[in-house]
Structure 1
Amino acid sequence: MQEEDEQLPPLIQSAYDQEDADEGEAWLISYADMMTLVACFFILMTAFASYDTKSFSKVAKEVKKYFRGANVQDKDEELTELITKIRAITQNREIVDIKSIDNGIEIKFNSEYFFETAEATLKQDMESLLSVMVDVIIDVNEEFIIEAHGHTDSRPLRSRRFKDNWELSAARSVSVIRVFEDNGFAKDQLIAIGYGSSRPEIPDRDESGDFIAKNLSRNRRVILLVKKPSEQLKLGLGHIYQENNQNN
């Protein structure tokens, strides 16, 4: 007959069983301590992190569009909102005409309200208006592409500063674009183009060859285009003029 295993008293056996269980789960304590330290580390990293607010907002906006199913309609809604807001800040002014175009909006100003004759320095009140307009555009979409087109009438230019109407129109468009650059737009979103007198809205002269005063005034204009970010745009004379002046 085999010798029966020695049986411990119940109280002592229970103590041994509890000790074995404690030894089997002891790793959980170390694991919990480690996870607590890791959590504290990331909390501190987050607390001391320095965020690029502009980039963060841009990413958040794109993520939001993705989850709500952004499409062409979203872009159209942005343009409609932009037109409404710009009309609101210019409602009592006769100097602006706003209309939709295929890939954005067009805002037209009579250049006489922006500049003195044969000058390219913005008048103070017009610079203030543009600054407000910049804030409105950024509020709708900070990635819009901005084009400024300068146009003159066909009369010969008399100026010591500018050689001809090409240079004058380019310099005026650059003056407008600088307001956008100074108020937060990146250079690669901005285009300045000078057309001189090459694209009149209406003829400057009557049938006898005499200048028509009201037509001259209408052809002297600044056109601002606000285009959807996806558009591939070409650089014009005004942009070249701007770069050359920066290098001189």
Structure 2
Amino acid sequence: MPGPVKFKRTEREQGGAWELSFADMMTLILCFFILMVTVSEVNREQYEVVAESLGEAMGTKAPEPEAPMIPAEWRQRLKSMEDVRHEITARTRHASDALSLEMRPNAVAVNLRGAVFFELGSAELTPTALEILADIAPPLMGIPYRMTVEGHTDNIPIKSSAFPSNWELSAARASAVARYFIDHGFPRDHVQVMGLADTRPKRPNMDIHGNAIAENQAQNRRIVILVEPME
């Protein structure tokens, strides 16, 4: 009488199926990760940490995120920051008492006097401000620049129904300037607005005896437009 039939497990049955399933799972995770990177803004440090972890698990190296593409026609119009400064200076010579320009590392800072651009306690642009902004805007349009608009005040407290403090006032004034550029064609996703109140004075608001320095306070009431090329 023949004995019981014995089946010998193949090498594939001993572990291959499990390994294949694990590999499929890791591949799906990697694909999902790449998709998320593609459709979202990449945080470089987080990307490197997660990519390294996945690379170790898969035994492969995750792809590097690609830099955003700048249209060729924009690249052709891209000017150096020094050229931008010269062009804005030439267009605003008639208003030299209302603004000043300075070079920063790979950027141009346009400093606007608050007294010329806004009435006391207001965030509405004056007619003179609109004329000056109309001269500043053309050199910046249609070119891949990033713009940061900073609102600054002096240390004199404000408390009104519209602006409970200088934080709200400085933010509203910076927003008004940024809104002008956006309404005239500057890409809104290239603009950042900051209300800094009196936290970054250009000059000391008070002397060593605690007395207000009116001239310095006037200089501290300002808007700064920082223009730099897109990375």
TM-score (norm 1): 0.61
Task: Name the CA distance, whole Å, in 1 between partners of 2:186 and 2:74.
Answer: 18
**Which has a greater percent of helix?**
1
Structure 1: segments with no counterpart, 5+ residues:
1-56, 66-74, 231-248
Which residue does the alignment assign to 1:108? 111
Verify the 8 A CA contact 1:118 1:158 in the aligned structure 2.
no
Alpha-carbon shift at residue 61 of structure 1 (Å): 4.7
Which residue does the alignment assign to 2:144? 143
Task: Name the CA distance, whole Å, in 2 between partners of 1:159 and 1:142.
Answer: 39
Structure 2: segments with no counterpart, 5+ residues:
1-69
Is the aligned partner of 1:89 residue 2:102? no
Which residue does the alignment assign to 2:215? 214
Give the SS at the match of 1:196.
coil
Task: Name the CA distance, whole Å, in 1 between partners of 2:217 and 2:143.
Answer: 35
Residues 222-237 of structure 1 mapped to structure 2, 5 A cutoff: 222-230=223-231
TM-score (norm 2): 0.65
Give the SS at the match of 1:222.
strand
Residue identity opposite 1:88 in structure 2? A
Which residue does the alignment assign to 1:99? 102
Which residue does the alignment assign to 2:177? 176
Alpha-carbon shift at residue 220 of structure 1 (Å): 0.7
State the aligned residue count: 161
Alpha-carbon shift at residue 98 of structure 1 (Å): 0.8
Verify the 8 A CA contact 2:88 2:135 in the aligned structure 1.
no
Alpha-carbon shift at residue 91 of structure 1 (Å): 1.1
Superposed CA deviations along residues 182-238 of structure 1, whole A, max 9, x for unmatched, are 0111211011100001111121112221211101101111101011111xxxxxxxx
Verify the 8 A CA contact 2:74 2:144 in the aligned structure 1.
no
CA root-mean-square deviation: 1.9
Q: Percent identity?
A: 29
Superposed CA deviations along residues 3-32 of structure 1, whole A, max 9, x for unmatched, are xxxxxxxxxxxxxxxxxxxxxxxxxxxxxx
Verify the 8 A CA contact 1:148 1:177 in the aligned structure 2.
yes
Verify the 8 A CA contact 1:115 1:123 in the aligned structure 2.
yes
Task: Name the CA distance, whole Å, in 2 between partners of 1:135 and 1:201.
Answer: 28
Structure 1 residue ranges, 4+ long, deviating more than 3 angstroms after superposition: 57-62
Is the aligned partner of 1:124 residue 2:127? yes
Give the SS at the match of 1:224.
strand
Alpha-carbon shift at residue 107 of structure 1 (Å): 0.7
Residue identity opposite 1:229 in structure 2? M
Change (3 A) 1:166 1:98: same
